[in-house]
Amino acid sequence: MPQWTVHEPGRLTFDTVTDLSVRIVAGRLAVLASDGPPTLEVTDVQKSPLVVTHDDGHLSVAYRDLTWDGILDWLRPGTQSTTLTLTVPSDCPVQVGVISASAVVTGFEKRANVKSASGEIVLDGVSGEVHAETVSGAVESRGLAGDMDFTSVSGDLTVAGGTPRRLNAKTVSGRITADLLLTPTGHVTLNSVGGAIVVRLPRSVDADVTLRSASGRLKSAFPGLVGARPGSKSLTGRLGGGMAYVSANTVSGDVTLLSKETTQADAEEEMA
């Protein structure tokens, strides 16, 4: 099993990579889909060396004692920082774990698992199955076109220009913002305890929608949503011909449903 210990900046090229696991503490990480040869480029590494293994197509890049399952509990003091870029095929399943590092994951079509303690993660053009778990780190998804599960304590989730088959998000105090296009089978469920939820849909959307909050405010730019009774803490209704499904639920956070045709002034008024 080929193995390298990386103490300094450098570049490695691999023949075949069929799945990738990368785990770092601090610094910056980019994981990019590419048609070229799989490569690892390290431009900075401090304190502890990285251990790289390549075994029967599996590529692993990590600190020796930083495991995937324990990454959210691995909060030791220190400056184990690195800056690296990995390029692998777009159909390669990837696991990305960071403590406080920022990470960008771009262009993958299969399965992507990401974990973060406090680092921010950007998912750009990632389809297939996405599983994201953070403590306080924010996740931003651009061009989502598959299934996504998001779980966080206080981290925010932002979905920009997404067309998800299924989107399931749960957070305690983080904010959820989702700007969506929906297929007829799209299924979106957003849940927060105290964090606000904002959803933006096309005016011509076909979806069954339910908005609920125990003590937060409910606002909708779609007149087709109505409360079950005066003073109700829910708004429900069928927009267009229905088929897709959107549910947003909080305990104390506000829930706002905006239209893509809403002007900036209207949006600001809705959020006031």
Q: Give residue-wise pLDDT tens across range 189-222.
A: 999 999 999 999 999 999 999 999 999 999 999 9
> Among all chains, which residue has been given the structure tokens 């790289």?
52
**Within 10 A of 184 (CB to CB), how many other CB atoms are there?**
10
Q: Is 60 exceeded by the pLDDT of residue 260?
A: yes
Per-residue CA distances from 44 to 7, 47, 123, 168, 192 (Å):
9, 10, 23, 36, 38
**Within 10 A of 166 (CB to CB), how many other CB atoms are there?**
15
Share of the chain above pLDDT 90, in %: 75
The whole-number average pLDDT for the span 168-193 is 96
Q: Which two tokens stand for residue 30?
A: 């980019």
